[in-house]
Amino acid sequence: MTLIIILTAVVLVLCVFSDRLSGKIGVPALLIFIGVGIFFGTDGVIHIPFEDYSFASNVCESALIIIMFTGGFSVKWNTAKPVMVKAGLLSTLGVVITAGITAAFCYFVLRFGFEESVLVGAVISSTDAASVFSVLRSKKLNLKNGLAPLLEAESGSNDPFSYMLTIIALSLIKGNGAGFMWVLIPMQLVFGTLFGFAIGFAGAFVAKHFKAATEGFECILFLAAALLAYGLPTMISGNGYLSVYIAGIIIGNADIPQKGEAVVFLNGITGICQIMVFFLLGLLSTPSEFGKSIMFAVPIYLCLTLLSRPVAVAIFGGKSPIRDRIFICLAGLRGASSIVFAIMAMDGGDSATEHNIFNIVFLVCLMSMLVQGTLLPTAARRLNLIDDNSNVLKTFNDYKEEDSITMMRMFVPEGHPWENKTLSEAVLPTGSLAVMIKRDGKTIIPRGNTQILANDSVVMSVPPYESDKSLKLREIKIKGSHPWLGCKIRDLKLPDRLLIVMIKRDDESLIPSGTTEIRGGDIVVITDTEESAGQPIYKEKVKK
């Protein structure tokens, strides 16, 4: 037992260093985790014999619950909402198209049996969010045209549909008639959706109103919600993974006070789950037998990459520019979920299959992560899809700005008290430091004797504000019918509890004064107290 504990520690340390290495060489970290598993496996250097598909299936399915819940929790709904229709089509009907074309290829070209062809198509039909975003996150690449939230939403939500197709395929292999499929599909979708929403809203309500005696214990509620969201619908043939994902989205987007602690908790436990899954997959593999499967894996990978995925994107990708569609096709990486479903196939349908489906799917996923995963950053640059003005991490609910230092820009108009004064003479906010001055397109690093001129922008570092939860910031989008449109701030009749603190206009953040006019397209940031949140913000109608 002591040796196992030491070996586990060594594996975790190797995986941590592998993650750091992946950021430098551009290969997905999860691929390196698999390599560590192979190193310890039957054909590796350590020679640990492991062929228990049933045990591996149970462990990986359990880990996938946490991974999918965290995937849903990380979805920032406001960012993902504009692309959810397209993502939803790709993750449902797109998965069916991908599975169907791949199954037809296996049946007509590779001469697999019908049931086995359907099983291979189902298992390999989903894309892997962890593989895609391990590359984007490590390189901090954000994508134009909403591609990052689209890929996140699609790859995070297509696993439940692929799982459902896998269950159907295994049922066919076990001799259940086609009529059973028409009963199973509604049960999977209806029960999975209902339990997902019910547990999601219940979990959010409890998290919002429950305060544990020990700090951090609230996070255990999220783990319990994830397990319940999977277990309850699965007991009555519902889609547990669909339920888990929906519950994660609802809880992750709820206004809960423990979200910061939950992010740390879920990221930590998900990281352990991913390391465990990919290490176990590598440990389960037997490279000495890959020669028998490579002749099938290569054509299936080419079919997926050059035919199945492009057809699905062409049909359900919407009216996206051609470069966007090319990147969406390239970003259709296969990963952990496909291999986990392949383990399920080996555990539940091996007696009726002629080929080693696990080895075939394992090799397809390796090629996908190695080739497509490595090429993603280069392809994004070549297709001119990188948004240098933002960060892909902001796509997720778990994004958190650095709070050790905050930058503030102060524009100095004519007549401002700072005009024509040196920095040493100007009265700056307490605890602030002027770090640069923007003047006529130039950047000046200031000193105490640097003079501030009219139309300068003084950039200062200021201490961060540690929120006590009593003050809320709200954003109001000014559209064509908004009563504030065209009004000056001094003319607005606001309740005493409210204050307009900033206006986001185009690429600028303006600190308003009473004469500032509100324009169409502005985003007005106001303060509000927690106890007054939700009350009307208009004291009386504005007279223009």
Chain position carrying tokens 């065209």:
486
CATH topology for the 471-532 domain:
Alpha-Beta Plaits (3.30.70)
CATH number 2.60.120.10 given to 406-462? no
Q: Strand 471-477 and strand 523-529: pairing?
A: antiparallel
What residue ranges do the domains of the chain occupy?
2-38+63-391, 406-462, 471-532
406-462 and 471-532 have identical folds: yes
CB 475, CB 450: distance < 8 Å? no
Cα angle 109, 120, 238; round to 5: 145
Q: What is the pLDDT of residue 236?
A: 92
CB 193, CB 232: distance < 8 Å? no
Task: Return the H-helix or E-strand segment holding 174.
Answer: none
CB 395, CB 76: distance < 8 Å? yes
For 408, the token pair is 């503030």
Residues 50-99 have pLDDT tens digits of 888 888 888 888 999 998 998 888 887 877 788 888 888 999 999 999 99
Residues 225-259 have pLDDT tens digits of 999 999 999 999 899 999 999 999 999 888 887 77
Q: What is the pLDDT of residue 403?
A: 47
Instruction: Tell how far CA 296 is from the center of its chain.
Output: 32
CB 397, CB 76: distance < 8 Å? yes
Chain position carrying tokens 């901090």:
140
Q: What is the pLDDT of residue 234?
A: 93
Q: Which residues contact 356 (CB under 8 A, 6 or more apart)?
A: 289, 292, 293, 346
Query: In which residue ranges of the chain is pLDDT below 50?
Result: 351-352, 392, 399-403, 531
Helix then strand then coil, in percent of the chain rounded to 5, is 60, 10, 30
DSSP secondary structure letters along 389-400: TS-GGGGBTT--
Please state the pTM of the whole predicted model: 0.70
Give the architecture (CATH level 2) of 2-38+63-391: Up-down Bundle (1.20)
Q: What is the pLDDT of residue 1?
A: 64
